[in-house]
């Protein structure tokens, strides 16, 4: 996979591309990361890329010409152009899984009051939002998207199986995790995890994943296709909560 980021502030990605898993993935050649400075394509002698909005109003709008030229400089037949925008579709794990299968992502980071809408209408394939709030620019959302996608690429994580068990990957939240020491502040690790019985451990983790999802994010269960066994577990959890109250 190749990821090109179109931004007014490429320096914001300097430490990001050297950081932890992302840095190691780049070093290993598991994906290609490239920063494109939109200002480099400005014809203005001062390298300005913004102007006043037609019709009046506060703030400035990014001009279409430098953005268009920046896109063309990296666009290929297999490219998917994404504009990070608070007006985009909400980002989730399902979308991350889909994007991880793409060959080339071009991420456009907006600033000011946004970009000229002609770019969005004619040269952007997807608008994505990381949440229902507004940030000063698209760089942080771009980092969120990159991190969530790259970790799904083959070879990036040491244990590929860990992805399958993570929150949201299979529609449920992840089961609770424990490590050493066995007893901390007189609180012990659940005995089943120390039993060595992998069948019981797997069953316990499935139960806890459903329980955590029901307690913390019940709306996720409405989207998740529960098996007969999982439905039985969920009813057991509901009954246990009812009895406790």
The structural domains of the chain, with segments of one domain joined by +, span 2-150, 165-244
Contact between 105 and 1 under an 8 Å Cβ cutoff? The reply is yes
The reply to whether 110 sits in an annotated binding site is yes
Q: How close are the terminal C-alpha atoms of the chain, in Å?
A: 51
Q: Would you say residue 166 has pLDDT above 60?
A: no
Return the pLDDT at 70: 98
The reply to whether 134 sits in an annotated binding site is yes
Cα 125 to the center of its chain, rounded Å: 17
Q: Kindly state the DSSP code that residue 185 receives in the 8-state scheme.
A: T
- The CATH number given to 165-244 is 1.10.1270.20
Q: How far apart are CA 215 and CA 142, in angstroms?
A: 31
Banded model confidence at residue 69, pLDDT cuts 50, 70, 90: very high
Q: Would you say residue 136 has pLDDT above 90?
A: yes
Q: Which residues contact 29 (CB under 8 A, 6 or more apart)?
A: none
The reply to whether 116 sits in an annotated binding site is no
The reply to whether 83 sits in an annotated binding site is no
The average pLDDT across 37-55 equals 95
Alpha-carbon Rg for the chain, nearest whole angstrom, is: 23
CATH of 2-150, one of 3.40.50.300, 3.20.20.20, 3.40.1280.10, 2.40.160.60: 3.40.1280.10
Which tokens sit at 104?
A: 């080339």
Q: Cα angle at 118 between 68 and 120, to 5 degrees?
A: 80
Distance set, CA 207 to CA 107, 124, 198, 214 (Å):
39, 42, 14, 11
Strands 61-62 and 79-90: unpaired
The reply to whether 164 sits in an annotated binding site is no
Listed residue (179, 180, 172, 189) closest to 237, CA to CA: 172
The average pLDDT across 163-179 equals 76
The reply to whether 135 sits in an annotated binding site is yes
Whole-number average pLDDT of the chain: 94
- Please tell me which residue, 106 or 157, carries the higher pLDDT value: 106
């Amino acid at each position: 996979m190749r990821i090109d980021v179109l931004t007014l502030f490429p320096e914001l990605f300097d430490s990001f591309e050297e950081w932890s898993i992302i840095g190691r993935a780049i070093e290993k050649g598991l994906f290609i990361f490239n920063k494109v400075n939109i200002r480099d394509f400005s014809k203005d002698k001062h390298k300005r890329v913004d102007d006043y909005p037609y019709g009046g109003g506060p703030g400035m709008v990014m001009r279409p010409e430098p953005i268009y030229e920046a896109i063309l400089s990296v666009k290929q037949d297999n490219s998917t152009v994404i504009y990070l925008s608070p007006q985009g579709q909400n980002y989730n794990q399902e979308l991350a899984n889909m994007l991880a299968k793409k060959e080339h992502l071009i991420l456009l980071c907006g600033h000011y009051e946004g970009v000229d809408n002609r770019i969005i209408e004619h040269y952007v394939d997807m608008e994505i939002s990381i949440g229902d709030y507004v940030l000063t620019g698209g760089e942080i959302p771009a980092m969120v998207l990159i991190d969530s996608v790259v970790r799904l690429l083959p070879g990036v994580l040491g244990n590929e199986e860990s992805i399958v068990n993570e929150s949201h990957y299979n529609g449920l939240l992840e089961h609770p995790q424990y490590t050493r020491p066995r007893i901390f502040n007189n609180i012990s690790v659940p005995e089943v995890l120390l039993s060595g019985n992998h069948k019981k451990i797997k069953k316990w983790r499935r139960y806890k994943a459903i329980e955590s999802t029901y307690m913390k994010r019940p709306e996720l269960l409405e989207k998740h296709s529960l098996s007969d066994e999982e439905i039985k577990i969920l009813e057991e959890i509901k009954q246990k909560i009812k009895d406790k109250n």
